[in-house]
Amino acid sequence: MHEITAKSVYSGIAIGKIKFYDKKPHVITRTSVEDTDKEISRYETATQAAIDELNALYETAVQKVGEANAEVFHVQAMMLEDEDYSDSVKNIICMQNVNAEYAVATTGDNFAEMFAGMDDEYFKARSADVKDISERLIRVLAGKSEKSALGEEPVILLAEDLAPSETVQMDKSKLLAFVTRCGSANSHTAILARTMGIPALVQADISQEYEGFLAVVDGYEGKLIIDPEQSVYEAYAQKKQEEEQKKALLSELKGKETITKSGKRIQLYANIGNPNDLASVLENDAGGIGLFRSEFLYLEHDTFPTEQQQFEAYKKVVQTMGGKKVIIRTLDIGADKQVDYFGLEKEENPALGLRAIRICLTRPEIFRTQLRALYRASAFGKLAIMYPMITSMAELRQIKEISKAVRSELEAEGVKLGEVEEGIMIETPAAAIMSDELADEVDFFSIGTNDLSQYTMAIDRQNAKLDPFFDAHHPALLRLIQMVCDSAHKAGIWVGICGELGADTSLTEQFVQMGIDELSVSPSQILPLRKVIRQI
């Protein structure tokens, strides 16, 4: 028996035989060419073929993991069209009279190294994408097709690393778990694993010699156990059986009320990134949608989405939810979510810069278009609007002036509108401290604990080096949440949590005692959280 410790990116137990995915790198030979124009033509043809592959992969990924997670393949397709990348390849071909494969490999290495050396975590992560697109181009140039890493029998897959494209194409019924030597908890591949519900470990000291051995992946403890002793095997087999029984028991909670033993009812809603997540919301029996991130519309377009495009998306969501409340957050672009066509200037500290409601108030034409679409969609279901990144009464009054003008404009046009609750996200200490005054101006508060934690502790949540300093249960954060609850209830409005902390079951009872009325979490967390609440 041999035990390897690794970093878990998705919990769960898997038991099965190991298959080692030996992704042999393409051997690139530098070849002198006379006809550089012909070589550039080969490169351009291969680029288009690779883009077509990525677009097809995007469609496959949408069905498996939703639009938000499939977006990585759109990003990679855009990287293939990047002028700097393309110019580098063509320049190497022309200046050195070499074959396209060598030019692509050299450019890929240079760009990957450049991204890896950047301070910004987002751009660091692009290093893996550059390697992925370069390998894809070289494979296409070589006339080779993609091969599946899996065989006929379900296996635990070991690999040096897995590209997002490789992960999403795998047949989930044949993949028990995967373990990689490289990778991080925030890589695209790790995110896809979590979305697909596959136990996964990264940063494991693995070897090809483990091929064919029986093994256990413990995603809870972050362990890979190779050739387990009989007693260890039996213990994990029992644990896996209990895990399956828990899942079955959770499904029995569908249709049950989310209510404590003392009779306090908690609204349990879901967070979603786009309309394709609705199936998961309904499958997990959410009471409504507590956070619909409308920025997906902007991220997936090459230019500003029209009023009609936005209206159709919002209408689809409220209609599908069949009268259940849908809370749509207005545009939250900026910080780690950048869109080229917005033309935002580079900022030294984008988390504290022009983002979210600040963009809307400085570029009201964008804001008004979104509000018109939202109010129009309100006629088709129970829609509420939530404004992010509020810090002052002045901002809130400006928002109300614009929203009132938009409603009046639509009414004058004879457009049918529904009743719309309007609330704000409490995600800055300023908003929490001012919550007693803000509460008089809105219908509800939703606490965004991700940013509220970041700003309260002065910790950039994109910087992995600061993880040791981060405390999700920091007393200052909990005091601010209590302050917001007290302010909301004093003013007669409801208050919820829509950040990651909402799914932290070690705090659920404390949140209920604080007076939280609503928790909005990822769809997969709905039933486990309902179970906890019903036991309080």
Q: What is the pLDDT of residue 128?
A: 80
In 10 A of CB 523, how many CB atoms? 21
Q: What is the pLDDT of residue 185?
A: 67
Residue 187's pLDDT band (boundaries 50, 70, 90)? low
DSSP 493: -
Q: What is the pLDDT of residue 243?
A: 81
- Assess whether pLDDT exceeds 70 at residue 65: no
- Which pTM does this prediction carry? 0.60
Q: What is the pLDDT of residue 190?
A: 74
Residues of the chain with CATH 3.20.20.60: 262-535
Residues of the chain with CATH 3.50.30.10: 2-23+149-231
- Assess whether pLDDT exceeds 80 at residue 227: yes
Lowest pLDDT segment from 99-108, 125-134, 225-234, 489-498: 125-134
- Assess whether pLDDT exceeds 70 at residue 418: yes
174 burial type by CB count under 10 A (0-12 exposed, 13-18 middle, 19+ buried) = middle
Question: In 3D, which of 48, 23, 49, 41 has the Cα closest to residue 99?
Answer: 41
Q: What are the catalytic residues? A: 188, 498
- The helix (run of H) or strand (run of E) holding residue 249 is helix 230-251
- Assess whether pLDDT exceeds 70 at residue 147: no
Which fold would CATH assign to domain 262-535?
TIM Barrel (3.20.20)
In 10 A of CB 391, how many CB atoms? 18
Q: What is the pLDDT of residue 148?
A: 59
Distance CA 514, CA 478 (A): 9
Residue 536's pLDDT band (boundaries 50, 70, 90)? very high
Q: What is the pLDDT of residue 246?
A: 73
Tokens of 300: 């997936």
Distance CA 495, CA 517 (A): 6
Task: State the average pLDDT over residues 415-423.
Answer: 96
Q: What is the DSSP string of 101-162?
A: HHHHHHHHHHHHHHHHT-SSHHHHHHHHHHHHHHHHHHHHHTTPPP--S--SS-EEEEES--
Distance CA 345, CA 322 (A): 41
pLDDT tens for 518-528 read 999 988 889 88
Single-letter amino acid code for the residue at 270: A
SS3 content of the chain, % helix, strand, coil (to 5): 55, 15, 30
Distance CA 271, CA 278 (A): 10
- Assess whether pLDDT exceeds 70 at residue 420: yes
Judge contact between 263 and 512, C-beta under 8 A.
no
Task: State the average pLDDT over residues 248-253.
Answer: 76
Residue 414's pLDDT band (boundaries 50, 70, 90)? very high
Q: What is the pLDDT of residue 278?
A: 85
Tokens of 94: 């022309």
Judge contact between 358 and 331, C-beta under 8 A.
no
Residue 25's pLDDT band (boundaries 50, 70, 90)? low
- Distances in Å between the Cα of 400 and the Cα atoms of 367, 368, 442, 524 are 12, 12, 10, 35
Task: State the average pLDDT over residues 185-190.
Answer: 66
Distance CA 274, CA 354 (A): 24
Q: Are strands 2-5 and 223-226 parallel, antiparallel or unpaired?
A: antiparallel
Task: State the average pLDDT over residues 473-490.
Answer: 97
Question: In 3D, which of 323, 451, 460 has the Cα closest to residue 381?
Answer: 323
pLDDT tens for 44-63 read 999 999 999 898 888 877 77
- Assess whether pLDDT exceeds 70 at residue 186: no
Question: Which superfamily, per CATH, for 36-141?
Answer: PtsI, HPr-binding domain (1.10.274.10)
| Dmax (CA) of the chain | 82
Q: What is the pLDDT of residue 401?
A: 96
| pLDDT: which is higher, 296 or 479 | 479
Beta strand residue intervals within 343-487, DSSP E: 383-387, 421-426, 444-447
CATH number of the domain located at residue range(s) 2-23+149-231 in this protein: 3.50.30.10
**Helix pair 36-80, 121-141: axis angle to 10 deg:** 140
Task: State the average pLDDT over residues 266-279.
Answer: 87
- Three-state DSSP state, 444: strand
- Distances in Å between the Cα of 234 and the Cα atoms of 8, 92, 102, 291 are 22, 58, 52, 42
Task: State the average pLDDT over residues 498-507.
Answer: 91
Residues of the chain with CATH 1.10.274.10: 36-141
| Main-chain dihedrals φ then ψ at residue 190, nearest 5 degrees | -65, -40
Distance CA 249, CA 80 (A): 47
Residue 295's pLDDT band (boundaries 50, 70, 90)? confident
Report the mean per-residue pLDDT for the chain. 88
Distance CA 217, CA 423 (A): 44
- Assess whether pLDDT exceeds 80 at residue 494: yes
Q: Tokens 């799914």 map to which residue?
A: 503
- Distances in Å between the Cα of 231 and the Cα atoms of 1, 216, 227 are 11, 13, 12
pLDDT tens for 311-361 read 999 999 999 898 899 999 999 876 555 667 777 777 677 778 777 899 899
| Main-chain dihedrals φ then ψ at residue 16, nearest 5 degrees | 175, -175
- Assess whether pLDDT exceeds 60 at residue 193: yes
- Assess whether pLDDT exceeds 70 at residue 149: no
Percent of the chain whose predicted confidence (pLDDT) is above 90 = 55
Question: In 3D, which of 524, 534, 535, 536 has the Cα closest to residue 258?
Answer: 534
Residue 86's pLDDT band (boundaries 50, 70, 90)? very high
